[in-house]
Amino acid sequence: MTMTAKVFPSADVDRIVGTNCLKDEYQRFRGEGLSREQLAELVQIGAADPGEAQNDSPTIGEMMDDETLKAARFIGYVIYPPRNDARVSVEGFRVAGVSADTALDLMTGYGNADEKEWSKRPDGLYDLRFWWD
């Protein structure tokens, strides 16, 4: 079976993600990660597939549809064309400043993550990170 390379507008991906397609064919998202709006823009231009999942993670579409993740920052990487495995992948997410109830909901709903981190802030809210390898 021959794999056909996925094609997407690399310059638009660079603008959204903060990467540089001319630098390397594989690049991680910059800074704190992507907002849900940025991820939606990547889906709209055909660079991210809402049905894709990183190993046992939820799909990109499932994470985008989850209202408890509306303020999440998504962690991942870009593999640029012309590689046959060109894609935008989401490996996990971070949420900051959520209530104990929301933190519990997230830990329950995303407890299958390979890595889970949480910390309680001085203001009583929680910061969490979920990552799938």
- What confidence tens digit (pLDDT) does each residue in 38-76 have? 999 999 999 999 999 998 999 999 999 999 999 999 999
- Which candidate, 34, 4, 2, places its Cα nearest to that of 16? 34
| Bond before 82 cis per omega within 30 degrees | yes
pLDDT at 109 over 50: yes
pTM for the complete prediction? 0.91
Amino acid identity of 126? Y
CA atoms within 13 A on the CB side of 5: 9
CA separation for the pair 26, 14 (Å, rounded): 12
